[in-house]
Chain A
């Protein structure tokens, strides 16, 4: 028997899969939840209370675009009343000055703002939404006036990697305390867009070097969190801080996932907040227990000295590339597929003309399935 799992620290609440943008790397699943199936205000309120009682401290309100929910202010209020630190992850589209003031009054703690590019041409092309960049910049002025703590999230790929220096400047101009430089991770829509988005090995190295230098220069002014390009790496990421140890994710229709891509593992089934208490799902559900600890591993992970450092990497990536969710993440140098993945990454990166496959917004349940 394994020791009992610790309580989770963070919960990602995907309030909706609707979004005005259609970024080709969207982390939502390719099969999205329909509008009609979204949890209502009362259910989310109960889920927030259950999360706080379970030990969650940090709540990330995400989507899709969470501002697409008409009850966003009410949801923030109920999350704060439950005792959660409340973070809004947004593109800024759908946030008026008045709405931001209401969110301030409701007790919103922090805003994480996504950045698709550092100018309108790049940002609007990546987001597939004309005028989006200008609206974002206008919203930033209101965010500054109110004084919300701000993190900028720059999602980096082959098309915009050269804009990193300007993104660091923008973060400072916006008064952000932190910037997340997040190279696209290839799940969901991004997996379909590897030809268009994969950075070259040289780009990945340059970005790492730039981040290292900027961290020294900007110490104490701007905190830089960095997610490197993992197809080009030699060791995998400690995904989600370890499966079922740190965080959980609730989808718009109430399914509780160990990570946002977990639905790509076909043999897992997920309990819903409508059917079971969150604590029961966290501690007892088959999906959360599937890859907890190290008991599920086989070699090379099983005998590896890094097995409690990275827990064999990402289960969803093992599923997507190796076809076996309990295999070693193929990013790892010890995986038999490591070399093939690196070659594949270089091939993806060489497709300079590859078009974007933009994400498609979810429809209503009454519409015929595609």
Chain B
């Protein structure tokens, strides 16, 4: 994912706290994806306005980690969601 690209969750895809399993999940059409801490942190910053560069900057500050490292970790995750049509990108 490029720094200037803006990810957003399309209609029918939402973050949900699964209280039975005590985990965050991404609910999508006929699928439920368990989110780890990193995945949940990234998607929490996806609001349909912020670009990927902005999101990685926020996470870098929040978790006190190099921006490049954050971008590398989260880009693959978001690209995989995009390939499954769980994420729109403009």
Contacts and interface: CB of A to CB of B under 8 A. Distances in A.
Contacts of A220: 82-83, 85
Contact of B27 (A54, A85, A151, A219): A85
B1 to A, nearest CB: 12
Given A55-B20, A57-B27, A149-B10, A85 B32 contact: yes
Most B Cβ at <10 Å: residue of A57, A147, A222: A57
A149 B11 contact: yes
Most A Cβ at <10 Å: residue of B11, B12, B20: B12
Most B Cβ at <10 Å: residue of A148, A151, A177: A177
B62 interface: no
State the main secondary structure of chain B at its contact with A.
loop
Interface in B14-53: 16, 18, 20-21, 25, 27, 29-32
A112 interface: yes
B16 A110 contact: no
Given A109-B12, A149-B11, A223-B85, A178 B29 contact: yes
Interface in B59-90: 82-85
Nearest to A56: B20
A58 interface: yes
Contacts of A177: 10, 29, 85
Q: How large is the interface on A (under 10, 10 to 19, 20 to 34, 35 or more residues)?
A: 20 to 34
A53 interface: yes
A219 B11 contact: no
State the main secondary structure of chain A at its contact with B.
loop
Given A85-B27, A151-B30, A177-B29, A57 B16 contact: yes
A51 to B, nearest CB: 11
Contacts of A151: 29-30
Contact of B12 (A55, A60, A148): A148
B32 A219 contact: no
A251 interface: no
A58 B32 contact: yes
Contact of A87 (B16, B20, B29): B29
A345 B85 CA distance: 36
Interface in A25-54: 53-54
Contact of B32 (A9, A54, A60, A83): A9
A261 B27 CA distance: 27
A7 interface: yes
A83 B16 CA distance: 9
Contact of B83 (A7, A53, A110, A219): A219
Contacts of B11: 147-149
Interface in A121-177: 147-149, 151, 177
Contacts of B20: 7, 53-55
Nearest to B88: A177
Interface in A7-26: 7, 9
Across chains A and B, which 4 residue pairs bring their CB atoms closest together, nearest first? A149-B12, A55-B20, A177-B85, A110-B29
Given A109-B27, A148-B12, A220-B85, 19 more contacts: A57-B18, A57-B27, A58-B30, A58-B32, A60-B30, A85-B27, A109-B12, A109-B29, A110-B12, A110-B29, A149-B10, A149-B11, A149-B29, A177-B85, A220-B83, A222-B85, A223-B83, A223-B84, A223-B85
Interface of A: 7, 9, 53-55, 57-58, 60, 83, 85, 87, 109-110, 112, 147-149, 151, 177-178, 219-220, 222-223
6 contacts: A54-B20, A57-B16, A58-B30, A85-B16, A148-B11, A223-B83
